[in-house]
Structure 1
C-alpha cells in the first residue's frame, strides 16, 4: 500500500514524523541582530502546524558576494550559526525536523544582475566554473548583465567544497537535523553540473564530482548527518539554448549521488538561466506595478527603463512557463525507479489529492513552497484531510518579484489573503491534537 502523508519516513538515520515539508524559500532575513528572530517567525508556524520537516532557504557558505537576492543569510561565521540554535530549538519544540540549505550563487549572484549592488561593491567578482557561456556574454555586451568572473582553479574548487563542509559542521552543532545542498536554480553547484556552464578541463569537468566532494567534506566534518540535494534537469530551457542536462542526465547524476552517500534527492526541472521555469505561473503584474517598490526596482535594474524591460521579460516567461500541477512528478518518478533512497517532490503541488497520487509512485515525501507565503500554517489543513483540500495560492507570483527589492516573501494578492483570513477565522489552521 502507498504511504499516507501522515506516515513517518526514514531519511538516513533520521525519522521524520510525516511526509510533508516546507520547501526552501527566500526568507530575506540577512545577518543583522534580528535575523534569527525573523527566521523563527517565518519557519516556526510550519512546524507548529504539523510539517514533519522545515527547510530553511538558501544560505551562503562564503562571503562577501555570492547572494542571488538581497538580504540572504550567510552561514560563514560560527558565532552567528551558533545563535541559530534558537531556531532549531523552536522547530524541535513541535517535534518537527529542520534542514538548512547551503548555497553559493556563482554567476547568478547580485554582482551580476543588481545594478545598485554592483555600484556599491565594485571590486566583487563572480565565482565561475568556466568562462560565462556565449548567450550570457552577449547580455553583458548589451549592458543587461555585468560579468567580471573569477574562474575557480582546481585548488579553489577544493577550498569552496571545504566551505560547504565547515558551514555544515557549524549547522549540525547548532541543531540542524539535515544538510540540504542547493544543487539547482542556477547556483554554483548547478553551474558545475550543467554543460551550459561547465567547460572545464580538470577533474571537475565532470560536474557531479563537485557534489561528491562536498558530500565527502560534510561526512568528514559531520559524520552521518542526513544529506540531501536538489538535482536539475534543464529540460525546460528556451529552444535553441544549450547544451543542457536532459532528464536522463539528471537520473544518472542521482544514481551517482546515491553511491556518494546522499540520503535523499529532490529532482527538479528547470532552465539554464534564471527565469520563471522554477516558479511557473502567471505574470506578476500587481507586484511590478506597485509604486511602493518602484524606486527599489529601478535601483536594482539600473533605471526605470530597464525595470520595464525586466518586467517585459517576466511577461514573456509567463507565456513560456504556464503553471503545470506537480510539474516535477515525471522526473521524480524516473529517479525513484532507479534509486533506493527517498525521493522528495516539490513544484506546483497544490491539493491533497495530488499528494496522495504521488506518494509511493512518484515520490516518498512532498514539499510545498509559495503556498506557505499565504498560509504559514498550511500543514494543519493538509494533514488528515481529504482529496478536495487545496491551497489558497493562485500561482500569481506577486510574492516573488518584490524580493528583487529586498522585501520578504509574503502573499500580496487581496483575494488570496481574504480566503486565508476566512479559513483562519473558521479554525482551519488549528491543530486539535496540539497545544500549538
Structure 2
C-alpha cells in the first residue's frame, strides 16, 4: 500500500480531517476580555482559509485563577464566555477545517512561580503541585530566581482537577470545538504527573498515567464522544545529572497505555524536565532580547534588569545546547507508531513539503507546524496540493524572536525582517491565493 501524502484525508476519532497538515498549538495571548473571541478568530481563521485540515487553539486554562504559564492566556471556565467562542469555531468550520482546543494547567510552571511582577500582584496564589518541588527547583527558590509556595494536591483534589478538565471540555464541545487536545508536555501539570522528576506520590496517582485516564473518563462523562488527543513527553533532553526523568522507552509505553485506554490520537514530543529551549529549538533570539520596547517587560517578569540579562544569558547557552534539528521528534514518533493503532501526530522543526511526505506513513499520520504560522498565517496554501515541489518550505528561520517577547504579554508574531520580507514577497506573488476546494469538501463541519 502506498504511503499517504499530505493531501490525503485522515480519520481522527470519527472525524474526517480533509488532509494531514495541521496548525499546532501556539500562544494566542487573547485573554478573556470582550474581544477575545474576535482575536482568536483573527488568529486561527487564516490557517483554515488556507486549507489546514486541523487547527489547534493554544493552551487554555481549566481553572478561573492560577495555572497560567504566560500572560494573557485564555481560561475556559465561564459558560457564557466559552459560548462566545462559537464565533471562532464557526469561522474555522466555514472553510472545512476541524478545530481542537488545548486544555492545560501550569502547576509548578505557572506564572506564580517565575513571573516576579505577577507574584507581587497575586501574593495569595499558590502553585498546584503533584509532589513537593524537586530539590533543584527548591534551590532556585532559595536563590530568588523562582518563588515556590506549592500546595501538593490531595487525592480528592486530583479528582477535582480532573473534573475541571472534563467541565471545560464539555463547555468547549458545546461551543463547537471538534477535538479536545490535552497539554501533556512542555512541563505543564499533566507532564508533571507523568514525570518521575516531579512525581513522587504514594497514592494511585504515583503512576502519572492514571491522572490522564481519570481526565479522559471525565471528558467522556461530561463532553460525550468527542475525540481526545494528548501530547506525551520524553525527557531525553534533560541535563546530565538528572537521573529521574522520562526515557524514550517510558514515553513509548505511556503512549501504548493511553491508546489502549481509548485516546484517539497521540503527539509524542521530546524535551527536558524544565521549560527551556529544548521545546523551541533554534537560534538565540538576539533581536528580541535587545529590543528596547521589551526591556521593562523583561525586568518586570524576571525581577529586575540584571536578572533579565542572566535569563538571556541562559537562553544563549540553551540555544547552543539545543541546536535546531529538523523534525526532532521523528524517531520517537516512529517508535510510538509501531506500537499503537491510533493516529500519531508529529511536530517540531518540520519545514519542508518533501520532508512532510517522507514522514507520513512512516513516522506519523499527520504533521503539524507552529512557529512558522507567525510569519505565514496562510502557510498551508503553499504546502498543500498534488503538484507542490518537494523543496517548498516555510520561510520561518527558527530564530525564536517571536517567542521571547511573549513573557511580557506581547502577542505571537514574527519579528525577523528577513523572514517578513520573504513572506511579503510571496504574498505579492499570490502564493497564498488558495484555489477553491472541491465541492464535496467545501464548507460545513468536518465529517463525522
If the TM-score is normalised by the length of the shorter chain, which range does it land in?
over 0.9
Report SS of the residue matched to 2:401: coil
4+ runs of 1 displaced by more than 4 Å?
none
Report SS of the residue matched to 1:185: coil
**Aligned alpha-carbon RMSD (Å):** 0.9
Corresponding residue of 1:405: 408
Corresponding residue of 2:17: 16
Corresponding residue of 1:131: 132
Corresponding residue of 1:167: 168
Report SS of the residue matched to 1:63: coil
In 2, distance between residues paired with 1:353 and 1:329?
Answer: 14
Higher deviation after alignment, 160-169 or 256-265: 256-265
Deviations 1:232-271 (A, max 9, x none): 0000111112300000000100111012110000000000
**Which of 415, 427, 432 does residue 418 from structure 2 map onto?**
415
Deviations 1:299-330 (A, max 9, x none): 11110000000100100100110000000000
Structure 1 residue 63: Cα displacement: 2.3
**Which of 394, 407, 411 does residue 391 from structure 1 map onto?**
394
Corresponding residue of 1:76: 77
In 2, distance between residues paired with 1:236 and 1:114?
Answer: 24
Deviations 1:174-209 (A, max 9, x none): 000000000000000000000000000000000000
Corresponding residue of 1:322: 323
Report SS of the residue matched to 2:30: coil
Corresponding residue of 1:203: 204
In 2, distance between residues paired with 1:193 and 1:52?
Answer: 30
Count of residues in Structure 1 that have an aligned counterpart in Structure 2: 436
Report SS of the residue matched to 2:327: coil
Report SS of the residue matched to 2:101: strand
Gaps of 5+ in 1: none
Structure 1 residue 36: Cα displacement: 0.6
1:248 aligned onto 2:226? no
Q: TM-score, normalised by structure 2?
A: 0.97
Report SS of the residue matched to 1:99: strand
The 5 Å alignment of 1:16-415 reads 16-384=17-385, 385-415=388-418
**Which of 434, 443, 446 does residue 431 from structure 1 map onto?**
434
In 2, distance between residues paired with 1:405 and 1:241?
Answer: 30
Structure 1 residue 433: Cα displacement: 2.1
Structure 1 residue 65: Cα displacement: 1.0
Gaps of 5+ in 2: 444-448
In 2, distance between residues paired with 1:242 and 1:354?
Answer: 34
Q: TM-score, normalised by structure 1?
A: 0.99
Report SS of the residue matched to 1:218: helix
Structure 1 residue 224: Cα displacement: 1.2
Report SS of the residue matched to 1:55: strand
